[in-house]
Each structure stands twice: as C-alpha cells, then as structure tokens.
Chains A and B, each alone.
Chain A
C-alpha cells in the first residue's frame, strides 16, 4: 500500500481538488466564450481546472516526499466558538445587542477549560455595556439594543 508521507500536503491536495471540482461543476452553466472575448464562465472554469491540477500535484508529492503531520484538534473548543457566532446571528435581531453580546461572550468562554462562571458573567456584562456605548451611542450604528 502506498504510504502518505506528508499528511498536510496530502489533505491540502484533497481540499483543493474538492473545491476545484465543486467550482467546475457550478461553472458549467456559465457562458465560456474565448480568450479574447471572455464569457463569464471562462475564468472560473480555467481556474477550477488549475486548482484541481495543483491539488493533484500536491497529493502525488505527498506520497513521495516527507512532510509534517496534521496537528490534533480538540474539536470541542472550536465548536463552542463557532456556536457562539451562530448564537449571535440568531440573537441579534430577536434579543437585541445587549443580550446577544452577553450570550456570545458566555458561549465562547465555554471553549476554554479554565473558564470560571463568576468571571465570565462579569466580563460578558462588561463587554456588552462597552459595545452598546461604543457602537450605538458613540458611532451611531443602527443596532436594536433591547428588542423588547
């Protein structure tokens, strides 16, 4: 069996091939044209092929040349941060800026193992107050502070 000697390169190659392939698939509907009269599909198609090619080269290289391994991911902290961002998207219009910020601060703090509840809540309220002062009162941005 062929051994993958450079995991980072190998998976980067796969990533490129996947993206390139997807782009190629999506661009099939756009008019192609010619080099001197480029249609909207010309560059996307050409670039997609190029990306797939680069991905292929990377994968082949990864089988031949040694390279660094992919560092382990803890997964949980990353999920909390991403969840925090989603929470903001859901909360900003339903609950208003103040609550949304508190929720985001709390949710993202949960990503850290050293998190302490007292400290986090204080921080959350603090940064919420700061955001309201800064964005709404000082910079006049149209946020609903409190949606009720």
Chain B
C-alpha cells in the first residue's frame, strides 16, 4: 500500500546515523530548555536558524522539530514539580499536576505525562501520515470569523476551568483580557496601556507573566507556612502510577489526543486551546469531578496528551499548505526557506523524502523523548526531597535568569516581581490564575479576528452566522453558557427542597 511504501521511504531517510544524531541533539536541547524556565523553543530555534543554512534540509528540520516537542515534554516537568508552566499550553498541567506532586504523587504525574505524551505523539504521527491532506483541507476552512468564534468558545470554557466561584473566574478572564490588550493595536497602530515603556509595546511577555503568576507566587504563598513545608513529598509511595491511576488516565489520554490532534491543526491559538479544552472536557464528564484542582490524574493525562498531539499535528498546515500554525512553525518555515524549499502542497509530491522523513523522525523523536524522560523522573523526584529552604532560592534564581534571557531587559524582571506579588494576592483572595492566563492569550487574537471579520464583511455582523462552521461553534458556546448557568439553578432548587 502506498502508505507503507511512503513510510518506508521516510524511515529510510530519517534513520541514518547523521539524522538520528540531529534528532537526539534536538530532543536533548528541547528537553533542557523546556525544563529551564524562561528560554523556550522559539528563542532557541531562532538562534539556531543560521546554523541550519549549512545542514542538509531534512537534518535541519529534524533537529528543530526535536527541539519543539522536546520542549513540550520538558515544560510539563516544571509544571508538575514547581508550578512553573514552560509554555502557555503547560499552564493547565500546573493545575492538577502540581497538586499531585504536593500529595507525593510527583513520580506518577510525571510518568503519566510522559507516557500520555508519547501515545499522543504516536497517534499524531499516524494521523499526519494517513490524513494530512484531509486535515489540511479542514484547517483551511478556518478563517477570521471561525477563529473569533473559537476563541470566544475557549474563553467561555475558561470559566468552567475554574474550580472556585464562577463570578471570580469571569472576573479573572476579563482581567486577563485587559492585560492581553497591553501593547500596540495592529489595525490602527495605537499603543494601549503601555505608559511609554518600550518593552510593553509588543505586549506583556508571557514568560515573566507565567513565572511570576504561577511559579513565584506559589513560593510566596508557601513561605507563609511557618515550618519547612511539604512533609508529603517525603512520603512518596512509588515512583510509578498505581493501577487505579492508569485505569483512569487511559481514556483521558485517548480523549485528549483527539482534541489535541484536531485543535493543533488550526493555525493560530490551536495549541493553547487544545490543553484547556481537553481539561474542561474531562472535568465536565468525569465521575471524579470533585478531585479536579486537587490532583486528579485525568487533569494531567488529558492536557498532556492534547499538548503533544497538537504539537505533532501543528506541522500539518506547514507541510501541506505552507501555512505556519504558530510562531515555532513560522520559524521552521524560515528554516525551509533558507534551504530553498518553499513549503506548500508541492512538498509531498516533489520532495517526498522530506515530508515522510519528517513524519518518521517525529515518531523516532517521541521514542527518544520517552527514553530520555522516564529515567529522569527518578532524578526529579529525588530533587523534590531537597529541603524547601534550599529548593526555593534555586527556583527564584532560575526564574530571574530565565526572565532576563528573554531579551536582556531588567524591566521584564521587575515586571515578573510585580506579577509574583499579584499572583500572591490572587491566591489570598481565592482568584485563579488559569482563567486569567487564557484571557491573556486569547484576548488579543479574538479582537484581531473580530475586527478583521468586520472589515472583510464591510461591517456586517451576520458574517458569523452565515458561515456554517462559525455558526456551529457559536451555538456550542451558547450551549456551554447554559451548562455553566443551569447547574446553579439546579443546586438552588436542591437547597430549596432540603428546606
């Protein structure tokens, strides 16, 4: 069958010593930068771009791709261990992953994250191999109106993410939206909320925000407990997940993979939505819904699977249509352009060894990553046993260095301190960071797509209703609102009955 012949070509091209070497190098660097707060795949790939000019096209792409999904694996590690999200999509893993670590289940959480990611990665690779053109055709139907609808849907879902009060979650989403609007607005080039500070003209940078709001704020609140905290960390029973945990995680991985695979193909914001959507789905459909936010294993398995599946399928628009789905893909496209390869539909036919070689290397990369990451779990868990008084200064140091490495600006470091304080205050007031972050990420995209839709339709708001896909998504969003509102009524009725 054609598929097998193609895969054979692909493996033949990818499994040469040189290309395997590139893959390993990429995966190792990727894992490292994923674990280190601050530096991310974008900065690393951008730095390595000129180097790729002298490499073979396939080798260069394999290496860069390895960095990208290696960083996904690494980012989950810090999310679980110290509540530091490496990427915006790792934020969701922080919610339950960190709680699991608090309860002494760090090893289990890391293992589930790694294995779930691996399974999702394999499935993602198969999907690319078998369905790339079909998925691409689906992705192309998404334009500004559909994106707006999707972002709106995502924001409403963010409210469900919260395990506390709905009203506060709404407030946090709105606050996140406002902070997301900081920067220069694209259509009119007006600077908003920038106070004349040049570092704010591109908006608030995600790295200092996430590190301050999540990682550092967590340290600030931990220090309120008078004795060296976390006795539970020393009570780790086993390194691996229990049978029960695996049983619960498996279907979550399956669902997360599907969501991630679908949302990852959508250029623009797909990856972030994938992990949030997977988490929300689990929370709403699980028997163990009460555990979410306190260490539910599904809350780690689903988003992690979604993340990694999304990372694989996000290559599809680039390799089939020449459209990058996120900034990392844009850089990959840059690498291809440097090599003289114009990404687009021609690639599959004109340079099959490139397309199939990449597909094969993705699977190889995922294999390498699970081999790298599983043994590391033992080391990470042992790291957690270090007395907190020695651990937290290291986290503070790494956050500072990481924030500075973004673009050598001391302003960002001070901003990180500000967010740390803000996150601490949020914690005291029972306000959650995850809805804030989703508002922050989706807000500007939503505005941009809304405005563009309005310009394209010459001011006609029914454009969202006339297009079938966006109409469906908007209806789903309405259904979601109903889901949020209705249980409230139900509880009040129950209370009334009890009286």
Binding site for B on A (CB under 8 A): 8-9, 11-12, 15-16, 19-20, 23, 26-27, 30-31, 35-40, 43-44, 47-48, 50-51, 54-55, 57-58, 61, 67-68, 70-74, 77-78, 81-82, 84-86, 88-90, 92-93, 97, 100-101, 104-106, 108-109, 111-115, 119-120, 123-124, 127, 131, 134-135, 138-143
Contacts and interface: CB of A to CB of B under 8 A. Distances in A.
Interface string B378-389: 000000000111
Contact of B190 (A12, A40, A81): A40
Contact of B459 (A36, A112, A124): A36
Q: Which of A71, A89, A134 is most buried by chain B, counting CB atoms within 10 A of its CB?
A: A89
A34 to B, nearest CB: 9
Given A38-B450, A81-B219, A112 B392 contact: yes
B177 A112 contact: no
A93 B410 contact: yes
A139 B405 CA distance: 11
Contacts of B224: 71-74, 77-78
Given A15-B425, A93-B410, A115-B389, A108 B396 contact: yes
9 nearest A-B pairs in the assembled complex, by CB-CB distance: A77-B223, A36-B459, A112-B389, A40-B190, A88-B400, A85-B417, A12-B429, A54-B171, A89-B413
A51 B175 contact: yes
B220 interface: yes
A109 B389 contact: yes
Contact of A71 (B421, B428, B460): B428
Contact of B33 (A37, A77, A139): A139
A30 B396 contact: no
Given A12-B168, A51-B175, A58-B171, A101 B193 contact: no
A67 B227 CA distance: 27
A142 B408 contact: yes
12 contacts: A8-B428, A19-B175, A51-B171, A54-B167, A68-B430, A81-B223, A84-B396, A104-B393, A104-B397, A108-B396, A123-B390, A127-B394
B419 to A, nearest CB: 10
A74 B410 CA distance: 28
B171 A81 contact: no
A81 B396 contact: yes
B413 A85 contact: yes
B230 to A, nearest CB: 13
Contact of A70 (B393, B399, B429, B459): B429
The secondary structure that dominates the B interface is helix
B39 A139 contact: yes
B130 interface: no
A61 B39 CA distance: 43
B223 A78 contact: yes
Given A54-B170, A71-B224, A92-B404, A127 B430 contact: no
A143 B420 CA distance: 24
B376 interface: no
A36 B410 contact: no
A105 B47 CA distance: 29
B400 A104 contact: yes
Given A70-B428, A74-B224, A119-B390, A44 B190 contact: no
Nearest to A65: B165
Q: Which of A39, A50, A61, A141 is most buried by chain B, counting CB atoms within 10 A of its CB?
A: A141
B459 A114 contact: no
A57 B169 CA distance: 13
Contacts of B228: 112, 114
Nearest to B387: A114
B245 interface: no
A102 B458 CA distance: 59
B416 interface: yes
B389 A134 contact: no
Contact of B430 (A12, A26, A112): A12
Contacts of A111: 223, 392
Contacts of B450: 38
Contact of A23 (B44, B178, B417, B424): B178
B174 interface: yes
